Structure 1
Amino acid sequence: MKILMINVVCGVKSTGRICTDLAMQLEKQGHEVKIAYGRDNIPSQYQRFAVRIGSNMDVKMHGLKARLFDGMGMGSKAATEKFIDWVKEYDPDVIHLHNIHGYYINVPVLFDYLKTSGKKVIWTLHDCWSFTGHCTYFNYENCNRWQTGCGGCPQKGVYPVLWGTDHSAENFKLKRSLFTSLSDLTIVTPSVWLENLVKASYMGQYPVQTIHNGIDTSVFKPVKSDVHERLGLVGKKIILGVAAVWDRRKGLDDFLQLSKLIDDSYAIVLVGLKKKQIEKLPEKIIGIRRTDSVAELVELYSAAYVFVNPTYEDNYPTTNLEAIACGTPVITYNTGGSPESANLFGVTLKDKNAGAILEALSSVDSISKSDANLSNEKTIKEYLTLYKEML
């Protein structure tokens, strides 16, 4: 079977690692896989899968169009047309979409091809962008405009950032027209939470099922390390946070507040911060720049006393799974699909504030771990079953 995945990144960040984890397992079973991607560097071990769409300049120009004209998915036209020519030559049996936002692919060109290609199409949704006029999540603003056609978007200042005029109502109509034009589409969500939202949207006309993400448990497992010594935290309990981007929606402000409440037996370590953010951190927080080193992440997860994920917007965060696989319990908010993974070995907080996190820290030692299978092998089997059913 020949499978083509399309995602904004390949082998890095959560969705990129999900794609390459799938590709590695599928390859072992004799299938041919390519991952078309738009941006960021590719780790050497995944180069054989990677097919670049466009160039860095295409991404920059597309990003500018999105910022000025609310045109996410409307740039990269020539790059996408060239890519579609390659797809026709490659002739995959299944086209598996992941994140198609991110300033790298022209959505109308892509869907004009898909609806006439006769290909089986799967779309794994990693957020809500496919059924809104602009945003990827609407929880933080408690916005329900996606149910009535969008317009007057309250989230112009967050990804995808908009400097110009709001076109979310027009975008909503265009996306609805494009994304409901396929005769053969199956939607997959990594969480039951997102599955229910999809069913309530215009995408609900298609079959949708949840396949929870898995991780490579041969890599993410408890290991010994010198993290405490290296960070000068010998004798302290590490409260770990990991994110690709840190802002108030990911709970950065709550970590800053938590640092004022914890005693000297604890220390907070945040991974994924920008240099300027690190320079402003209070004494009880150690900041680490974003890393694509899985080995470094495994050491940090394993050394942590607890993994805290105070996210206000999320789907089914793999960071929860990675921490659990490394033997570290999770504290998270009741946000999106985060509880669906955290509850395997952790605590879900109804109240979203630093005080609630502090209170939960006292019960970490009594958290029991389920025997749930976190391995991506289970995820692969479910996708393979889906591929075969479609064919």
Structure 2
Amino acid sequence: MKIVLLQSGNQGFFPRFYSDLTRTVEKNGDELRLFVPNTGINNRRKVPHQVIWGSRLNWHFHFYMYRLTGLQDIWSFFSTIDLIRKIRKYSPDVINFHVVNDCNLCIPLLVRYINNHNIPVVWTFHDVRAITGRCAYFDEVGCYKWKTGCYDCPTNNNWLTPSLVDNTRLEWKIRKKWFTIISNLTIVTPSEWLACYVRESYFKDHPILVINNGIDTSEFAKEQTNISSQILNNGKKIILGVASVWNKSKGIDTMEWLGEHLGDDYQVVVVGNIENELKKKALHLLCLPPTNIKSELIAIYQKADVFVNPTMEDNFPTVNIEALASGIPVITYKTGGSAECLDSKCGIAVEKGNRKALLEAVIYLCSHFEAYSRENCIERSKCFSLSQFDKYVELYHCVSNK
């Protein structure tokens, strides 16, 4: 069978997700193509079986129309026609949406095409923007207007530059109208946390499944040595955090607070890009740049004693699974589905925003390694192995009857 993945950008965790899914699909004898818009990131970070659609000007036009009107998902007419032309040429049996609300698509045009050709759609939600009038996460501000209709958005948008006007009421209605009329639609969420919210949204009458994110756990369990990780051989307990981009939502200020309040026996290390203003304040952190070399990242994980994820907004972060697969226990806030990968033998989850509890958990865990052993962590990580992608293949065949 032929499968199309529709995604806005090759960034963050997605390239690794796509690579693992592609291997699983091809092992099953099926074909897969990734359709991404014509942007600088997607041209620089090309992946196998990638199909570029639209023009380089499209995103800029769509973005500025969003800035002026507060509306998304209705612009990009000509670029969406180009996407449809290329999808038609490939003739897929199923389309898997990922992040599509990102200033590049005319959703009504695409939905009409999909329904007219009876193409099943699997939609993987990586955040909540498909059920809201704008925002990607709402739990930090405690806003639940999306259940009946968004308006006066309190987040001022937490993933894109704010628009000049708040048109979330109309955008919510547009999304409800067009998303819910997709004739053969199955929703996939990586966490139970998100699935619960989707069941309360305008998607409640559609099938909603949970398929956790998965990684190659065996790869992270193999012992790695790397020159970069040798700087962590300082005799201190290493408290590690990893993110593609560190900001307040990811908890960089909390990591700095930990570095300030933990004793001299500890070293707090963060890996990833840090916003410039926040980096100047990171006086108690050892900041390492992001790396695309997987063996290097694994070596850094394996040098750590504890992994801390103080994220304030998240779905089902794969960094937690990577840490477990590397044999180190995880401490996280009870944010989104962040704690769903943990059990009592591999980590601790504390209430979101409770820094004191986070600090106490770090100290406790570092003195009770026997209860959170490397073996326990690796064994738990196997629940989130590449077998998760087999579930996607099974779903593709189920919805397409192939």
**Does TM-score exceed 0.5, indicating one fold?**
yes
Name the CA distance, whole Å, in 2 between partners of 1:60 and 1:347.
43
Deviations 1:88-144 (A, max 9, x none): 010011111111122333322222222222111111111111110010110110101
How far did residue 242 of structure 1 move?
1.6
- What residue number does 1:350 align with? 351
Letter of the aligned partner of 1:19 in structure 2?
A: Y
How far did residue 380 of structure 1 move?
2.0
- What residue number does 1:362 align with? 363
* TM-aligned CA distance change 1:237 to 1:206, over 3 Å: same
* TM-aligned CA distance change 1:375 to 1:131, over 3 Å: closer
* TM-aligned CA distance change 1:128 to 1:329, over 3 Å: same
How far did residue 41 of structure 1 move?
4.4
1:293-304 aligned within 5 A: 293-304=293-304
1:91-170 aligned within 5 A: 91-170=91-170
**Which of residues 367, 373, 383 in structure 1 aligns to 2:392?**
383
Segment drifting more, 164-173 vs 108-117? 108-117
Segment drifting more, 23-32 vs 329-338? 23-32
Name the CA distance, whole Å, in 2 between partners of 1:385 and 1:42.
31
2:203 is paired with a residue whose SS is: helix
Q: Contact between 2:76 and 2:104, CA under 8 Å: does it hold in 1?
A: yes
1:22 is paired with a residue whose SS is: helix
Q: Contact between 2:323 and 2:330, CA under 8 Å: does it hold in 1?
A: yes
Q: Contact between 1:186 and 1:206, CA under 8 Å: does it hold in 2?
A: yes
1:58 is paired with a residue whose SS is: helix
Deviations 1:24-59 (A, max 9, x none): 211122111101123424788x73321123344323
Q: Contact between 2:24 and 2:389, CA under 8 Å: does it hold in 1?
A: yes
1:219 is paired with a residue whose SS is: helix
How far did residue 375 of structure 1 move?
5.0
TM-score of the aligned structures, taking structure 2 as reference length: 0.90
Letter of the aligned partner of 1:367 in structure 2?
A: Y
Q: Contact between 1:227 and 1:300, CA under 8 Å: does it hold in 2?
A: no
Name the CA distance, whole Å, in 1 between partners of 2:168 and 2:52.
29
1:26 matched to 2:25? The reply is yes
Letter of the aligned partner of 2:96 in structure 1?
A: H
TM-score of the aligned structures, taking structure 1 as reference length: 0.92
- Give the length in aligned residue pairs: 389
* TM-aligned CA distance change 1:196 to 1:282, over 3 Å: closer
- Structure 2: 5+ residue stretches without partners: none
1:126-275 aligned within 5 A: 126-226=126-226, 230-231=230-231, 234-274=234-274
How far did residue 161 of structure 1 move?
2.4
How far did residue 62 of structure 1 move?
2.6
Name the Cα RMSD after superposition: 2.2
How far did residue 275 of structure 1 move?
6.1
Letter of the aligned partner of 2:392 in structure 1?
A: Y
Letter of the aligned partner of 1:16 in structure 2?
A: P
Name the CA distance, whole Å, in 2 between partners of 1:92 and 1:299.
40
1:37 matched to 2:36? The reply is yes
Segment drifting more, 271-280 vs 154-163? 271-280
Deviations 1:289-318 (A, max 9, x none): 343333332222122211111111111111
Q: Contact between 1:95 and 1:119, CA under 8 Å: does it hold in 2?
A: yes
* TM-aligned CA distance change 1:289 to 1:167, over 3 Å: farther
Deviations 1:226-246 (A, max 9, x none): 467643652122211122232
